[in-house]
Amino acid sequence: MLVIWGRINSINVQKVLWCCEELALEYRRVDAGGAFGIVNTPEYRKLNPNGLVPTIEDDGLVLWESNAIVRYLAAKYPAAGIWPTDLRTRALADQWLDWSHTTHLPAMRNMFLGLVRTAPDKRDMAAIEQSRVDTATVLEILDAHLATHDYLAGNAFTMGDIAMGCGVWRWLSLPIERPALPNVQRWFERLALRPPYRKAVMLPLT
Ligand SMILES: N[C@@H](CCC(=O)N[C@@H](CS)C(=O)NCC(=O)O)C(=O)O
């Protein structure tokens, strides 16, 4: 059976769990990372030398990097329809997966860590505010795209929605001032109709 190492409050683990739920896969999840430790043990480092989560083991294949895992699982089970078989649609899904990792996550990082994982008296409020402004700027790009698309890679839900769907849940859950992003809001409401998203991603931030 597919094994997933990773704590459920990690955004990168949530991507994999949401993907598995979309594909209706059976899996065993092992708590790892953060307070659970494990990631620095020699056994885990043999699986994932980065000492990060998530990692999966599937029929002898060990794989890390959340977006690579999402792509692998979505492609392995194409009947679920989240791995676009059309090359152009798949390229767009890949684009948004990568953009989430290279552009959105770095912008949001200080705000999330500051407001959720740092005691109030230890917070760097200037860094949190800069991160809020940067994230809003980045999300305006997404909002403009969603003005003419129902989903990130076109008019159907695909793996391309998974990474940003996790990121936008955090953005909407943080106790911050948010500029109006009506198209992102509508897209989020579409995602929120999906039980796999609600189960794997729409959790209180911890
Ligand atoms: N690029 C990696 C990043 C993985 C990553 O940074 N994971 C974080 C959690 S989101 C982690 O393992 N942090 C250390 C820990 O949880 O102990 C991926 O997408 O899988």
Ligand 1, closest atom to CA 37?
17
pLDDT (average), residues 4-17 = 98
- Indicate if ligand 1 lies below 6 Å from the C-beta of 31: no
Domain 87-197 - what CATH class? mainly alpha
- Indicate if ligand 1 lies below 6 Å from the C-beta of 66: yes
Question: How sure is the predictor about 80, in pLDDT bands with cuts at 50, 70 and 90?
Answer: very high
The single residue listed with the structure tokens 């509508």 is: 186
Name residue 37's amino acid. Answer: G
Ligand 1, closest atom to CA 67?
19
The pLDDT, as a whole number, for residue 97 is: 98
- Indicate if ligand 1 lies below 6 Å from the C-beta of 52: yes
Task: Please say whether the structural domain 2-80 has been given the CATH code 3.40.30.10.
Answer: yes
Torsion over CA: 113, 189, 103, 32 (sign): positive
Percent of all residues in the chain with a pLDDT value above 70, rounded to a whole number? 100
33 C-alpha to ligand 1 centroid (Å): 8
The pLDDT, as a whole number, for residue 19 is: 98
Per residue in 85-129, pLDDT (tens digit) is: 999 999 999 999 999 999 999 999 999 999 999 999 999 999 999
Please indicate, yes or no, whether the overall pTM of this predicted structure exceeds 0.95.
yes
Ligand 1, closest atom to CA 13?
10
Domain coordinates of the chain in residue numbers? 2-80, 87-197
The single residue listed with the structure tokens 């953005």 is: 171
- Indicate if ligand 1 lies below 6 Å from the C-beta of 65: yes
Per residue in 36-76, pLDDT (tens digit) is: 999 999 999 999 999 999 999 999 999 999 999 999 999 99
pLDDT (average), residues 24-32 = 98
119 C-alpha to ligand 1 centroid (Å): 21
Ligand 1, closest atom to CA 51?
12
- The CA distance from 146 to 152, in Å, is 7
Mean pLDDT of the chain: 98
- The CA distance from 101 to 191, in Å, is 19
The pLDDT, as a whole number, for residue 24 is: 98
pLDDT (average), residues 8-19 = 98
Per residue in 139-174, pLDDT (tens digit) is: 999 999 999 999 999 999 999 999 999 999 999 999
Percent of all residues in the chain with a pLDDT value above 90, rounded to a whole number? 100
The pLDDT, as a whole number, for residue 46 is: 98
Strands in 52-191 per DSSP E:
55-58, 61-64
- The CA distance from 183 to 164, in Å, is 13
